[in-house]
Structure 1
C-alpha cells in the first residue's frame, strides 16, 4: 500500500457517516436519555482523574506543569477530536503512562540540565511527528498484531502506575507537612476514606438487588459522589488545616502560552531519544484502545479509522506541545466503556452476577463533545467550584483507580490460588493449568522488567525511558517465543481469547 493510502481509505470510510454521528444522538427519546447519561458519566469520570493526575504531576515537576494544563489538554483535545476524528467513540486523556513518561522527563531535564517545559515540549513535538509518519506509512495496520499478552501487561502497568502515584503523593505530602502529626493524620484519614468509600460505591453499582436505573445513576456520579462526600468530611475538626486544590491553583495563569523552544543543538538532538520511546508508547496505547472499541461485541457499524486516528493523535501531540500542555491520547478504559454505555443492551442474572449483551450501538460525537465543553467552561470560568477539594481525596482516588482495575485484570486473576473460579472457563477447558501458570509467569516477568525500568527514573532516567520499548518487544515475543515455550495451539488460545470481563480493567 502506498504512503497515505490507509489514511485516505479511513476518511472515505468514515466521511459518509459524519452527519449521522451528530444526528443519531437525537433519534428518539430513549437514545437522547442514554446520551445525556453518558455525557454526565464522561464529564465526571474524566475530570476528577485528570485533576488528580495533574496535581501529582504539578508536585513532581515543581509546578512547571500543572493540573490546569492536564484539564485544558483533555478538554481542547476532545473538542477538536469530536470535530475531525475518525472513530467518534474514542476518548482522549492524559493517561497514567503519559504522566509516568513526563515524570521521567523531569529527571532528564534536571540531569542535563535544561528547562523541563522546553525539553518536554520538544520531545512531544518529535514524538508527534514520528507518530504521524508511522500512520502515513500505514503503520496502524501493522500494530493490529497487538494481542492479549501485551494488552494485559499495559493494563497492569496502568493500574500499578495509579497506585504508585497515589502513595507517592502521600509521601510528598508527609515531607511537606513535616512534624505536624495532626495534619498528616487528617490527610491520611481523608486519603484512606476516599479509597474505602469509592469501593463501597463500586459494590453498590454491582449489586444484583438494586434496580438498573439506580445503578446507572450511581455509575454516572460515582467519582463525584466519593470526592464530594470526603470534601464535606474534610471540614470536620477545622482547627486542623487541610491542603486544598485552591492552594495548588494560586498564581497559575488562566491560559497557556506558546513555549520558547530555544535549546542548544546538543539538547535538540538528545531529545530524539526519549521522543522515539514516547512515540512507541503513544502508538501502542492508541492501537490497543482503538481495537478494544472496535471489538465485535460492541456492535459498531460505521467502520474504523486506525491510520487517520493515529495521524490525528500525532498532530494533537505536536499542537499541545507547542503550548506546554501534556498530550492526550485514546484512553483505557473510558473509550471502551463509552461504546458499551451507548449500546442498546439487555441485562441478565446468572449465579448472582449481572451480565449485559449489546444488541446495537449509538455511534455519536455529541456525548464526548458536550462533556468536554462542560470541562472547558468549568476550568476557565469556575475554578473555585473544585478548589475546595482536599488534595488528600484526590491522591486517594488515584490509589482506588489502580486497585479497582487490578481486581478485574485477567493477568492478576490468573495468579495461583483460585483457578477454578477466576480463570475464564474457556481457558480451563482448552488449556492445562500448568500451561496457564507458565504463561502468567512469563507475563509477570515482562511486567517486572517494564516496571523495574520505570522505577530507575531518579537514578538512570535514560534507561527508565526505554520501558515502552520493552512493552513493544512483547508483541513479537508473543508470536515468536511463546509458541516455542508453550506450544503453538496453547499460545494462540491464551493470547487471542477475548472474555467479557474486560481485559483492561474497570477503573470506576
Structure 2
C-alpha cells in the first residue's frame, strides 16, 4: 500500500502495535510518525519514520514519504514539515505574535545591553546586542528544527561576559579576541555534542533543575534592576528614577493581571496583555519630560552610530591579536559556555514545547545544538554577545500562537470554576514566519532614526523592566508555587490540590529546601569572580535529581513534586522521558484517509492533542532568560 493507492481510498482504519520486542524481532525502527493535515487550503505532508515501516495483521505497509529520504529524516525529523512551516504562516495569529515577540525580545535586550555596556567598558552595546538577536532569529527561523524557539541575548550570558572581562582584562588580554576564541572553541564543542546525540540526556531534565534555574534568573533580573538604580546616587535623579522604575513595574503588572481577569471584553484584555508593557515603556519615556521633571537630568540608554560597533574597532575581531597560551586558556571558558548553552537552550526548547501546548509537529534537538555552535562562532568573530534560547520569550512565543475556543468548564473536581467559561487551546500555529519577522524588525531597530528614539529611553525605565521580568518569572516558578501552598491556610486550601496528595508534609519541605539550596549555591557563586563556573552547578542538578532524590523520596512523591518538562510527543526525539516509556513503544491506532494519516491515539485511547490539553494547567514559565 503506497501513497498513490491512498488517494483511491476514502477512509481506512489501520491499527498496529509497536513495541520494542516486535521491532527488534523484525528489524524495524521504533521512530514512526506520519501525518497529513488538510486544513482549509493548506495541505501539510509529513513523515518521521526512520526505516522500514511495521506491517499490520493483514501484511499492509504504510510507506514513508518519498519526497524525504531516510538520511535527511535521521538528520532532521522536522525536514518533512519544512514547506508547511511557511505555508501554515497564513494565519492571523502570526501578526500579533510577531509584534508581541518583537517587544518581548527587544526590551530585555536593551536592558542587557545597558548592563554589558557599563560592566565591559563599552565593549558591548546596543548595536551588538541587536545584531546578535538578529543573527539568532534569522538562522533559527529559517533552518532550525524548532522555529518556535526565540534566540537572543540572555541574562546568564550577560553574567558570563562581564565576569570573563573582570578576569582577563587585568592580565592585559585583548578581551574581544579572547571572547572570539571562546566562541571558536565552543563551535567544536557544540558540534561534538550534536554528533554524539548528547541531547538524548534531556530525558533526565525535569522541572526540578528548570525551576531552580528559573528562580536563579528571576533574582538576577531583580538584582540588575537594583544595580541600575544604585548608580544614580542620592539626589533628585535617584528619587525620580526610583519612582519611574516602580511605576513602570506597577503599570506593566496591572496590564498583565487585567489580561487574565474578568474585566472588559476579550479583545481589550488580549490587547493589554500583549502590548501593555511596550506601551508602558513608551509612555514613561515621555512622562519624565512633563512639568518640573524635565529639569532633572536622567541617565539615558547609550547608543552609537547605526551598524557600527560600540567601541572604535572594525566588525571583524582581530583574533590573531592574542598570545597562543591565551587562545588555549579560552578552552576552559568555552567548556563552561557550552555547558550553559546546552542546558539553557535545550530547556528553552523544552518549555516552548511544553505539555500544555497541543503541538503537532516533531522536535529536533541535535540539529539545533549544531546550529547553536555555528551562531556562537559567528558571534565571536563579529564581536557580538553569544545568542541562545530565551526564557520566557520562547514559551511566550508558543503561547501567542495558540488558537483558543471558549468552553464551559465541566470539571467536577474544580468546584470553584465549575460552570464558568474557560479558554481551551485547540492547536498552535506552528510556522517560521513570526520568528523571522521579529528578527527583521529588530534589524530595522538598529537603523539611525530608531537608535535616536532608543537613546531617549531613561535607564530607570529599563530598571522597571528588570523588575517586572523578575517578578513574572518568580510568580510562575514551581518553587514559588510550592512555597505559597505551604503558607496557605489549610482550611482554605482546595481538597483536590495536587500537593495535598503527599502524605509526608516533611517530604514537601525537604524538596523545597533542596531546591532553595541549589538556587542559593548558584546565586552565591555569581556574586564572585568564579561566576563563570555557575553552569556546572546547574548541570549538576540533573544527576542529583536522577540519582540522589529517589533515595529520599518515594516515586509517588516525586511524581507530584516533579514532572517532565515537555510532553512525550516532544521528548520522543530524544528517546522518551525519564521514568516514562518512549511514546513509540505504546500501541497506536492510526486513522488513514485519502490524504494520509489524519489522527493517532495512544494505547489508552487518548490522542497526543488530548494529552496536551490535559496538561494545559501547567505553567510554561519556569525560568527567565
How high is the TM-score relative to the length of structure 2?
A: 0.74
Asked whether 1:86 is paired with 2:203, we answer no
What stretches of structure 1 of length at least 5 have no aligned partner? Answer: none
Q: 2:317 aligned to 259, 264, 272, which one?
A: 259
Match of 1:21 in 2: 85
TM-superposed CA distance for 1:293, in Å, is 2.5
Match of 2:167 in 1: 108
Match of 1:401 in 2: 469
Match of 1:280 in 2: 339
Give the alignment of 1:31-42 within 5 angstroms: 31=91, 33-42=92-101
Whether the 8 Å CA contact 1:159–1:401 is kept in 2: the answer is: yes
1: distance between equivalents of 2:212 and 2:331?
26
SS class of match (2:359): coil
Match of 1:137 in 2: 196
1: distance between equivalents of 2:624 and 2:401?
18
Match of 2:542 in 1: 475
Asked whether 1:186 is paired with 2:240, we answer yes
Match of 2:298 in 1: 242
How high is the TM-score relative to the length of structure 1?
A: 0.90
2: distance between equivalents of 1:170 and 1:424?
44
Whether the 8 Å CA contact 2:390–2:624 is kept in 1: the answer is: no
CA deviations 1:62-113 (Å, max 9, x no partner) are: 1111122111110222012211111121110211111111121121123433
Runs of 4+ with deviation above 6 angstroms: none
TM-superposed CA distance for 1:347, in Å, is 4.3
2: distance between equivalents of 1:10 and 1:164?
44
SS class of match (2:384): coil
Moved more, 480-489 or 68-77: 480-489
TM-superposed CA distance for 1:370, in Å, is 1.1
Whether the 8 Å CA contact 1:7–1:136 is kept in 2: the answer is: no
Asked whether 1:417 is paired with 2:534, we answer no
CA deviations 1:185-232 (Å, max 9, x no partner) are: 222222222112211212221212232211221222122111111112
TM-superposed CA distance for 1:254, in Å, is 2.5
Match of 1:429 in 2: 501
CA deviations 1:133-192 (Å, max 9, x no partner) are: 101111111223111110101111111111111111222343xxxx6x122222222222
Match of 2:441 in 1: 374
TM-superposed CA distance for 1:492, in Å, is 4.1
What stretches of structure 2 of length at least 5 have no aligned partner? Answer: 1-28, 30-49, 51-69, 566-614
TM-superposed CA distance for 1:493, in Å, is 3.5
Moved more, 17-26 or 189-198: 189-198
TM-superposed CA distance for 1:250, in Å, is 4.1
1:423/1:138 Cα in 2 relative to 1: closer, same or farther (>3 Å)?
farther
CA deviations 1:356-402 (Å, max 9, x no partner) are: 43221211111111111111012124312322111110122112110
Whether the 8 Å CA contact 1:91–1:331 is kept in 2: the answer is: yes
CA deviations 1:9-34 (Å, max 9, x no partner) are: 454421221111111111xxxx2x21
Give the alignment of 1:441-456 within 5 angstroms: 441-456=513-528
Whether the 8 Å CA contact 2:97–2:401 is kept in 1: the answer is: yes
2: distance between equivalents of 1:354 and 1:369?
35
1: distance between equivalents of 2:383 and 2:422?
43
Moved more, 210-219 or 410-419: 410-419
CA deviations 1:105-141 (Å, max 9, x no partner) are: 1211234331222222222322232122101111111
Match of 2:207 in 1: 148
TM-superposed CA distance for 1:501, in Å, is 4.0
TM-superposed CA distance for 1:419, in Å, is 7.5
1:24/1:136 Cα in 2 relative to 1: closer, same or farther (>3 Å)?
same
Specify the structure having the higher radius of gyration (Cα): 2
2: distance between equivalents of 1:305 and 1:280?
19
User: In proportion to residue count, which structure has more helix?
Assistant: 1
SS class of match (2:148): coil
Asked whether 1:233 is paired with 2:301, we answer no
1:431/1:327 Cα in 2 relative to 1: closer, same or farther (>3 Å)?
farther
Asked whether 1:486 is paired with 2:560, we answer no
* Aligned residue-pair number: 488
TM-superposed CA distance for 1:423, in Å, is 11
2: distance between equivalents of 1:425 and 1:443?
21
SS class of match (1:455): coil
1: distance between equivalents of 2:623 and 2:543?
27
